[in-house]
Amino acid sequence: MTAPMSLSPGPSPSCREALARRIRLLVAATIAYNVVEAVVALTAGTVASSTALVGFGLDSVIEVSSAAAVAWQFSARDHHVREAREQRTLRIIAVSFFVLAAYVAADAARALAGSGEADRSVTGIALAALSLAIMPFLSAAQRRAGRELGSASAVADSKQTLLCTYLSAVLLLGLVLNATLDWTWADPIAALVIAAIATKEGLNAWRGQGCCAPATTTKTAAETGGDTCGCPAGCSCR
């Protein structure tokens, strides 16, 4: 009689712990950078009356809350406790996206209605360029670790960080157009793009999309066609 196949929650315990430690370090780095980014963006945005720059700063605040939620989840040493916190963490991330989108859209609409024009902001341009260079690396590293671990919340938070990359590009374009061509409408338009992207990612986080489930058996990587950490074949864990 064939022995029943033993079941596993996915990656091996040692692999899970290594991935969890990596995620905790990446989350800590994300929080540290975003605290600085938020202070600079909100200050520069207020001085320049820039809706897009203020929205970017608020996104940094929300990224801190999102990363803090993931940090809380992964502060538990027990894998099952972390899994139990997964859905609540995803909800926190999703709501953060929605709050950002609502505020930025409302403020952009006010600016387009003629309630205020943004001044040039060299500080904002420099900040957007710096974030555009840094954030893709943080996001990619956390997304890879989250997918290997099978954590939807870690992947969702990495998308929050990736959103910062998109926002940096949009913000940079809007600020440069405003500074060089005096296109004051470019700033609120950039803010509306930020709001649309935030809404989309909020919906994805609420639905728990964007993460592969880890393999559920103890078959080897060769047998499953997956990798040594348990991510099944057909899932882009890298």
Residue 90 sits in a domain whose CATH number is 1.20.1510
Asked if residue 234 belongs to a domain, the reply is no
Given a cut of 70, is residue 134 above it in pLDDT? yes
The number of residues making up the chain comes to: 238
Rounded to the nearest 10°, the torsion over CA 91, 95, 96, 98 is 140
Structure tokens belonging to residue 63: 């990224």
Question: Residue 98's domain spans which residues?
Answer: 13-224
Reported confidence tier of residue 40, pLDDT bands at 50, 70, 90: very high
Asked if residue 65 belongs to a domain, the reply is yes
Given a cut of 70, is residue 225 above it in pLDDT? no
Dihedral sign (CA 10, 90, 66, 199): positive
Mean pLDDT of 145-164: 78
Asked if residue 208 belongs to a domain, the reply is yes
User: Model's pTM, two decimal places?
Assistant: 0.65
**Which percentage of the chain shows pLDDT scores above 90?**
9
Asked if residue 2 belongs to a domain, the reply is no
Specify the number of domains making up the chain: 1
pLDDT value of position 210: 46
Maximum average pLDDT range among 95-109, 119-133, 140-154: 119-133
pLDDT value of position 143: 87
Asked if residue 233 belongs to a domain, the reply is no
Asked if residue 4 belongs to a domain, the reply is no
Structure tokens belonging to residue 57: 């700063």
Asked if residue 105 belongs to a domain, the reply is yes
pLDDT value of position 43: 94
Buried b (16+ CB within 10 A) or exposed e, 11-48: beeebbebbbebbbebbebbbebbeebbebbbebbeeb
pLDDT value of position 209: 55
Maximum average pLDDT range among 29-38, 174-183, 190-199: 29-38
Asked if residue 56 belongs to a domain, the reply is yes
